[in-house]
Amino acid sequence: MKKGFKDGFLWGGATAANQFEGAYNEDGKGLTIADVSPGGKQRMKLLRDDSYPLEIDLEKYTYPNHLGIDFYHRYKEDIALFAEMGFKTFRMSISWARIFPNGDDAQPNEAGLKHYENVIDELLKYNIEPTITISHYETPLNLVKSYGGWKNRELIGLFEKYARTILERYASKVTYWMTFNEINTGVLGSFFTLGMRNESLNNNFQALHNQFVASAKAVKIARELNPNIKMGCMSIYATMYAYDSNPVTVAETMEENRMFNYFCNDVQVRGEYPTYAHSFFTKNNVVLDVQPGDLEVIKENTMDYLSFSYYMSTTHALKTAEKEESEGNFFGGTKNPYLEASEWGWEIDPVGLRIALNDLYGRYGVPLYISENGLGAVDKVEEDGSIHDDYRIDYLRKHISEMEKAVTIDGVDLMAYTAWGCIDLVSASTGEMAKRYGFIYVDLDDEGKGTLERSRKDSFEWYKNVISTNGVAIQK
Ligand code: BG6
């Protein structure tokens, strides 16, 4: 077996429009759910509270997403830095509300379409393949307020129209696409994913069903436009461990694992609802409104590749057990005594990534794309302007080493790795700038103060070496 990453391996970085573009109300863009999400550690709690009005209240809150890091105006400078690192791909999302400001407009906004065309052309100028996420926590606010979010079937048609518009415009230039970011957070009722808060389990799964149909329709359109296009699903994967060897703990972990880590992938890659999901629905009185044609479109338009984000693993103990809880952006779990955690309490587990890759490749047999991975940390700028982020290099090195084992020893077909937040951006779970992932530092703090100037951290040079040697220089 050939050692190391395959030729043409797509090294790069990942972002989302709402977390770094800024320009939240420029050139005809409408509001998205991200634009009414306040900054700060209380963000997720506030958004889960029905009494929190989904409106902008500048007297009470700050909204770091409004400015982002101003990629909207600085994309040329930033893409030049990505090119300097040698990126082969750059994952970005298109903000639906730049194209259809209210989500249900009759005509698309040409200024929005033109903007993304410019960004794509700039990437292609440096031979960087764009990877586009069609929906990354950016549902237009109007679709939440007037339609009730994704539980409403009308969103299928609106998404289809949006997807068709951008695919028609960019399908000849962009090969790699993902439909919904971290779609499986919908299983947990995530507002970011579903545009709904505190609804019944039935509504959450209905919303997911609607997204499966919408996603499959986008895949169909894409293939009709360009048969060489590669369409992928995207979910968050957390390697799941049973806390102890009690068979009851292991059985519970299995049940949790399949509804969280497999369910959405099973539907989108295998093309049908798995048996265990039907049992889950029966047990929880979930009855879905499945219209004629839904299951067929899902079956006929499965994904070319499977992409996932990986930040941490999670450990499951029996509900009766008294164990210390760990933290995560969407889920906690029981503290794993073998793992250290980041400053934000996310348990760091590189070996868990090798397990994830084997698990997913063994189950699906399609190429895998690691679309997010990285360490959120506070960076210190030295007096001379340098930033020594050896902790980030250490995190990435260990994860990429495990990836390399999965490829070389285990034979996993891995096609891409895009480090999350390759340039510092606003955190999704806490709306902070202080939680940085980048190789490129952006001078901006949580109060929106700073010059927005970009500078290279130590990890910049390190990642550049990793890319130029196709992963051989991980240890250096
Ligand atoms: C993923 C999301 O859950 O994790 C990203 O797809 C997010 O949007 C990333 O930014 C890291 O999470 P956070 O909360 O540290 O920004």
> Strands 10-14 and 414-420: what pairing?
parallel
Q: What is the mean pLDDT of residues 42-56?
A: 92
More confident call, 328 vs 53: 53
Q: What percent of the chain has pLDDT over 90?
A: 94
Report the atom number in ligand 1 closest to the C-alpha of 437.
15
Q: Are 257 and 355 in contact (CB under 8 A)?
A: no
Confidence bin at 189 (pLDDT 50/70/90): very high
Res 328: pLDDT: 65
- How many angstroms is it from 373 CA to the middle of ligand 1? 9
Which residue's CA is the closest to the ligand 1 atom numbered 12?
428
Q: For residue 1, what pLDDT band results from cuts at 50, 70 and 90?
A: low
Average the pLDDT over 341-359 and give the result: 96
Q: What is the pLDDT of residues 81-124, one digit of tens each?
A: 999 999 999 999 999 999 999 999 999 999 999 999 999 999 99
For residue 346, give the ligand 1 atom closest to its CA: 15
Q: Rg (Cα) of the chain, in Å, rounded?
A: 21
Predicted confidence (pLDDT) at residue 329 exceeds the cutoff of 60: no
Per domain, the residue ranges of the chain are: 10-468
Check residue 167 and give its pLDDT: 98
- pLDDT at 356 > cutoff 90: yes
Q: Which fold has domain 10-468?
A: TIM Barrel (3.20.20)
**Is the four-CA dihedral 32, 38, 43, 47 of positive or negative sign?**
negative
**Which ranges of 126-271 would DSSP assign to H, the alpha helix?**
141-145, 154-170, 191-194, 201-225, 247-257, 263-265
Which tokens belong to 262?
């497999």
Q: What is the whole-number distance in angstroms between the Cα of residue 424 and the centre of ligand 1?
A: 12
